[in-house]
Chain A
Amino acid sequence: MAYAAVNHPRVSVLSTSSQSSLDHPSPTPSSTRFSLSSAPSINTLNSANRPTGVRPNIYERNLNKTRFAEVSLSSFAFLFSELVQYTQKRVNGINDLERRLNTLGYRVGTRVLELLFWRTESTSKAPKREIKLVPALMVIHTQVWKAIFSKPADAIEKSVENADEYMIIDNDPPIERYISVPRDMSQLSCSSFTAGIVEAVLDGLGFPARVTAHNTPTAQYPSRITILIKLEKSVLEREELLKT
């Protein structure tokens, strides 16, 4: 409740601005929300582009505006670093750490899916949801990756040995760019976070799966990762039914 007491000056600007009433259909921009908007804006690029220097509360901003909505990689790297350190203090062993990162990613993934569909399908004339596995994986490979990392993933592969396994490959995952895993933890892949996001998106689309991340470095791409998707049996059975 500490933030509720901070009565920030931006709300009044927001409610009198004619443009904001168009942007924000909510009737009253409430000042009693748990808002952090009185904190200085992290995105310097954006504020530099606005001569007034006034930005609406993050909850009041238009969800569909994606221009200049990127977060600085540095800020994210610091946040993610703290996140890994926080998690590491509370676990025993690498598997546990990966599982926790996966859980955190899952929570991001559910929101990513919602936001992504809000942005892409709400303006589309024929909104649709993927019900087949391969197109759904393509959505993750391209749209989800672009929404999160501003670039598509590098490949999708199907496992030769197991019919229920698919892989998404990223040659240079941005979230691991500044991370050097110590030698005694070499199996650890911080992209378990990304795996969690993928798991949530697949779950949300109706393809329950177990998703894990693995380091698969090559000479050319030392930080290459593989996101391994192990689908539940029900998904494959449904795929069979959809074929006919």
Chain B
Amino acid sequence: MPIFGLWVINKAGGLVYQRNFADGLAQLTSNEYLVLAGTLHGIHAITSRLSPIGSSSGAQVIEGETFKLTILLTATGTKFVLLASVTETSAELILQKVYEIYADFVMKNPFHTPEMPVRSEGFDQRITTLMGSFQS
């Protein structure tokens, strides 16, 4: 049940963090990742308006034949996106933990500028540890 990758998309639709953890995804350039993240942001905005009965949180899972894309939308509009295999059952749990790590090691870091790409060693390290504990 491999986890392929993690994206963090800011509230404006910009990709602020992207990392791959396992082979299996197409190799993309950073520009293509930015475009994809922007597209997903748009799709998410559309899905959140599709509900016939009032407001909706938007797409939470997009599933394909070979992969599953799980989205966690936070109260502030930041999106955590996990790309994993279809059989991965703990995607929501992983995203919650990623959110926690993000809150600790990105938001509490004085050298991080909000809405800008995440460059924090502490965050990288904790994500590596977290993914390691779920990959095995």
* Range, interface on chain A: 10 to 19
Interface residues of A in 63-84 (CB under 8 A from B): 74, 77-78, 80-84
Q: How far is the CA of A76 from the CA of B109 in the complex (A)?
A: 12
Interface residues of A in 174-198 (CB under 8 A from B): 178-182, 185, 190
The reply to whether the CB of A88 lies closer than 8 angstroms to some CB of chain B is yes
Q: How far is the CA of A85 from the CA of B114 in the complex (A)?
A: 12
A180 and B104 in contact, given A81-B109, A81-B110, A85-B110 (Cβ under 8 angstroms) = no
B contact residues around A81 at 8 Å (CB): 108-110
At the interface with chain A, which of B76-84, B87-95, B118-126?
B118-126
- Total contacting residues, chain B, CB less than 8 A: 12
Q: How far is the CA of A83 from the CA of B110 in the complex (A)?
A: 8
A contact residues around B99 at 8 Å (CB): none
Instruction: Establish whether residues B110 and A82, one from each chain, have CB atoms under 8 Å apart when the complex forms.
Output: yes
Closest to A81 in B: B110
Interface residues of A in 158-209 (CB under 8 A from B): 178-182, 185, 190
Q: How far is the CA of A178 from the CA of B120 in the complex (A)?
A: 10
Q: How far is the CA of A216 from the CA of B111 in the complex (A)?
A: 20
Main secondary structure of the interface of A (DSSP, over half): helix
Closest to B118 in A: A180
B contact residues around A180 at 8 Å (CB): 105, 109, 111, 120-123
Interface residues of B in 93-136 (CB under 8 A from A): 104-105, 107-111, 119-123
Shortest Cβ distance from residue B57 to the other chain A in the assembled complex, whole angstroms: 26
A contact residues around B104 at 8 Å (CB): 74, 77, 178
Binary per-residue interface labels of chain A (4-36) against chain B in the complex, 1 for a CB within 8 Å, 0 otherwise: 000000000000000000000000000000000
Binary per-residue interface labels of chain A (73-101) against chain B in the complex, 1 for a CB within 8 Å, 0 otherwise: 01001101111110010000000000000
A contact residues around B120 at 8 Å (CB): 180
Shortest Cβ distance from residue B30 to the other chain A in the assembled complex, whole angstroms: 19
A78 and B108 in contact, given A180-B120, A180-B122, A182-B119 (Cβ under 8 angstroms) = yes
Q: How far is the CA of A77 from the CA of B104 in the complex (A)?
A: 9
B contact residues around A82 at 8 Å (CB): 110
Q: How far is the CA of A10 from the CA of B108 in the complex (A)?
A: 32
Residue from B104, B108, B109, B121 having most chain A Cβ neighbours under 10 A: B108
Q: Which 5 A-B pairs have the closest CB atoms?
A: A84-B110, A178-B108, A180-B120, A77-B108, A81-B110
The 10 sampled A-B contact pairs (Cβ below 8 Å) are A74-B108, A78-B107, A81-B108, A82-B110, A83-B110, A178-B105, A179-B108, A180-B120, A181-B111, A182-B119
Beyond A74-B104, A81-B108, A180-B105: 5 further Cβ-contacts under 8 Å? A88-B110, A179-B108, A179-B110, A180-B111, A180-B121
